[in-house]
C-alpha cells in the first residue's frame, strides 16, 4: 500500500510535533533542531510532490478520494488534490516555515517547546487548507489554523498580545460562521461536500449564488484582509513574534485569496461576474488606503503590516479582473508578497532584537554599522516596491495588464488608480529605508550595532535567491500557474456570456 504524497506532506509536520511533545522542555537546542529538521523534510516532500506534478495540465493531480462520514444523507469525503493554483502556495508554505523557525533561535527563549509544537501544527493546517477538495475537510483545516496562531500571538507576542489575539479570533470566527452555514447549505442541497461534484452541478444552487458568494466572501475577505475588514491585521502583526508575523503575512493571508479563486470563482461564476466591479472597488480602496496609512506610521512593524493591506489589494484586483493575465498575476503576486514581506518582517525583527524598539525615530544611519543588513534590506525594499528585475515587478505588471483590459470591470480607470498605489508604495518604502539606514547617527546605540551573524544571513539568503529568480526568470512559475487559471478564466467568460 502506497501513501498518497499529499497526505504524507500534510501530516508529516504532525509527526514532528508528536516528537516535540515527548522531548524534555529544558532541552531547547534539541527542540529547535527537531522542529527545523521536520520543516526541512516537509519542504523536501513538497519538492517530491512537485516532481510528480505534470506541468501543463489543468486538472487536479495526485488526488486521493476516500469516503469519510455522513451528515444526514450528505457524504463527507477525505479528498485532496493539487493544481497549478495550489502547488505554488504549498511550496511557499513549506519554504517559509523552516526560515521562520530558524529566525527564532535567539528571538524565542521562553516556552520553546510549546512554540515549536504550535508552529508545526500550524504548518500542517495551512497545507491542508491548500490541498483539501472537500468543503467540510477544507473548513476543518481552515479552523484548525486559527488555534495555533492565536496562542503564538497570545503567549509570545508583545505588550498588547491578548487584545490582538482575541481580536484576530473574533474577526476570523465571524467570517467562519457565515462560511460554515454556506457549506452546510451546499452539502445538504447537493448530497455531497466534494468541490469537484459541486462544481459539476452548479444548477442545484444557482438561485442562491449571490448569497453564497457573500457568505464565503466575507470569511475570505477578512483573512486577506480586504478593506474595511482589515482592522485586526495591524494589531496581530505588531504583537506577534517575528516568526508569527512572517507566516501570518506569508501564508495565512493567502488562504483568503486562495479561497476566492478555488471556491467563489469556480462554484459561483455568475455571482462573481455580477459582483466583480464592487470587489475591484474595495481592492482599489485597500491599495490606496494601505499605502497612505503605511506612510503615516512611526512603528516599523506597523508600516509593514499596513503595506500588506495595500499589496493584497493588488492580488484581489487581479483576481476580479476575471481574465487570464489578472488571475495569473494574482497567484504569482501571492508568492511574491509572501517572500518580500516575509523578508521585511525578518529584517524588522533583527533590528528589534538589537535595539528593542521599532520606532523609526530611534534609528538612522544604521547602514554605517550594519552594511550587510543594509544591502539586503535595500534589495528586499526595492522588490516590495516593484523594481524591474525583482519579483514584485512581474506580479504587479501582470495584474495591471489584466486590470487594464478587464471587460468585467468595464473601465481602465481601475488600472490607473492601482498604478497610483505602485507610486505610493515606493514613497513609503523609500521613506522607511531612508529613516532607518541613511542619514547621520543620532543615537549612540546605533553606532555599535553588530551586523548580521551567519545564521541570520542563512535565514535571509533563500528569500533573496527567490526574489531575483522570479524577477529575472518567472517562466517556470507561470508554467505551473497558467493551465489552471486559463481553465478558470474560460469558466468565468462562459458565465459572463450566459448573463448577457
**Per-residue pLDDT, 15:** 93
The residue ranking higher by pLDDT, 473 or 498, is 473
* pTM of the entire predicted model: 0.92
**Per-residue pLDDT, 395:** 92
**Per-residue pLDDT, 203:** 80
Per-residue pLDDT for 62 more than 70? yes
**Per-residue pLDDT, 32:** 92
**Per-residue pLDDT, 79:** 93
Per-residue pLDDT for 141 more than 80? yes
φ and ψ of 450, to 5 deg = -80, 145
Give me the mean pLDDT over the 69-94 stretch: 91
Minimal CA–CA distance to 422: which of 370, 386, 369, 372?
386
Residues 351, 141: Cα–Cα separation, whole Å:
34
Give me the mean pLDDT over the 185-207 stretch: 87
Q: Phi/psi zone of residue 191: left (φ > 0), alpha (ψ -120 to 50 degrees), beta?
A: left
**Per-residue pLDDT, 74:** 85
Q: How confident is the model at residue 1 (pLDDT cuts 50, 70, 90)?
A: low
- The dihedral over CA atoms of 450, 454, 456, 458, expressed in degrees to the nearest 10, equals 160
Residue-wise pLDDT tens digits, 338-367? 999 999 999 999 999 888 888 888 888 888
**Per-residue pLDDT, 390:** 94
**Per-residue pLDDT, 156:** 86
* Residues 288, 421 contacting (CB under 8 angstroms): yes
Across all residues in the chain, what is the average pLDDT?
91
In the chain, the percentage of residues whose pLDDT exceeds 70 is: 100
Rounded to a whole number, what is the largest CA-CA distance in the chain? 71
Residue-wise pLDDT tens digits, 447-464? 888 888 999 999 999 999
* Residues 452, 350 contacting (CB under 8 angstroms): yes
> What grid cell was written down for 454?
551567519
Residues 144, 317: Cα–Cα separation, whole Å:
28
* Residues 23, 30 contacting (CB under 8 angstroms): yes
Residues 335, 250: Cα–Cα separation, whole Å:
8
Amino acid at each position: 500500500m502506497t501513501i498518497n504524497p499529499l497526505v504524507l506532506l500534510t501530516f508529516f509536520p504532525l509527526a514532528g510535533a508528536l516528537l516535540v511533545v515527548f522531548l524534555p522542555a529544558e532541552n531547547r537546542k534539541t527542540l529547535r533542531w527537531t522542529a527545523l529538521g521536520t520543516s526541512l523534510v516537509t519542504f523536501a516532500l513538497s519538492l517530491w510532490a512537485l516532481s510528480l506534478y505534470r506541468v501543463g495540465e489543468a486538472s487536479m493531480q495526485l488526488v486521493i478520494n476516500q469516503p469519510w462520514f455522513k451528515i444526514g444523507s450528505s457524504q463527507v469525503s477525505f479528498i485532496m488534490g493539487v493544481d497549478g493554483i495550489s502547488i505554488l502556495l504549498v511550496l511557499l508554505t513549506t519554504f517559509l516555515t523552516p526560515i521562520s523557525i530558524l529566525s527564532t533561535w535567539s528571538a524565542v527563549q521562553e516556552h520553546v517547546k510549546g512554540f515549536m509544537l504550535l508552529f508545526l501544527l500550524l504548518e500542517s493546517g495551512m497545507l491542508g487548507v491548500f490541498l483539501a477538495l472537500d468543503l467540510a475537510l477544507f473548513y476543518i483545516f481552515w479552523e484548525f489554523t486559527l488555534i495555533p496562531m492565536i496562542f503564538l500571538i497570545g503567549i509570545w507576542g508583545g505588550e498588547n498580545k491578548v487584545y490582538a489575539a482575541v481580536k484576530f479570533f473574533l474577526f476570523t470566527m465571524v467570517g467562519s460562521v457565515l462560511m460554515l452555514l454556506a457549506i452546510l447549505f451546499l452539502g445538504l442541497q447537493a448530497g455531497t461536500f466534494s468541490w469537484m461534484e459541486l462544481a459539476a452541478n452548479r444548477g442545484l444552487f444557482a438561485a442562491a449564488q449571490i448569497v453564497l458568494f457573500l457568505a464565503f466572501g466575507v470569511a475570505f475577505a477578512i483573512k486577506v484582509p480586504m478593506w474595511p475588514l482589515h482592522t485586526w491585521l495591524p494589531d496581530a502583526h505588531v504583537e506577534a513574534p517575528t516568526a508569527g508575523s512572517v507566516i501570518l503575512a506569508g501564508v495565512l493571508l493567502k488562504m483568503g485569496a486562495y479561497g476566492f479563486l478555488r471556491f467563489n470563482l469556480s462554484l459561483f461564476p455568475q455571482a462573481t461576474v455580477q459582483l466583480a466591479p464592487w470587489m475591484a472597488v474595495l481592492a482599489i480602496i485597500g491599495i490606496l488606503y494601505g499605502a497612505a496609512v503605511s506612510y503615516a506610521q512611526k512603528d516599523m512593524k506597523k508600516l509593514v503590516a499596513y503595506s500588506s493591506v495595500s499589496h493584497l489589494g493588488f492580488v484581489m484586483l487581479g483576481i476580479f479582473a476575471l481574465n487570464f493575465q489578472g488571475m495569473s498575476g494574482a497567484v504569482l503576486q501571492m508568492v511574491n508578497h509572501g517572500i518580500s514581506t516575509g523578508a521585511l518582517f525578518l529584517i524588522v525583527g533583527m533590528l528589534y532584537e538589537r535595539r528593542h524598539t521599532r520606532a523609526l525615530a530611534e534609528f538612522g544611519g544604521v547602514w554605517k554599522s550594519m552594511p550587510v543588513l543594509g544591502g539586503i534590506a535595500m534589495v528586499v525594499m526595492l522588490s516590495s516596491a516593484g523594481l524591474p528585475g525583482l519579483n514584485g515587478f512581474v506580479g504587479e505588471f501582470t495584474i495591471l495588464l489584466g486590470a487594464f483590459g478587464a471587460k468585467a470591470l468595464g473601465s481602465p480607470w481601475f488600472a490607473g488608480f492601482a498604478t497610483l498605489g505602485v507610486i505610493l508604495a515606493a514613497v513609503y518604502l523609500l521613506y522607511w529605508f531612508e529613516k532607518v539606514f541613511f542619514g547621520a547617527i543620532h543615537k549612540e546605540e546605533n553606532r555599535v550595532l553588530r551586523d548580521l551573524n551567519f545564521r541570520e544571513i542563512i535565514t535571509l539568503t533563500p528569500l533573496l535567491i527567490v526574489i531575483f529568480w522570479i524577477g529575472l526568470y518567472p517562466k517556470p512559475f507561470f508554467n505551473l500557474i497558467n493551465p489552471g487559471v486559463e481553465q478558470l478564466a474560460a469558466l468565468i467568460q462562459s458565465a459572463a456570456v450566459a448573463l448577457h
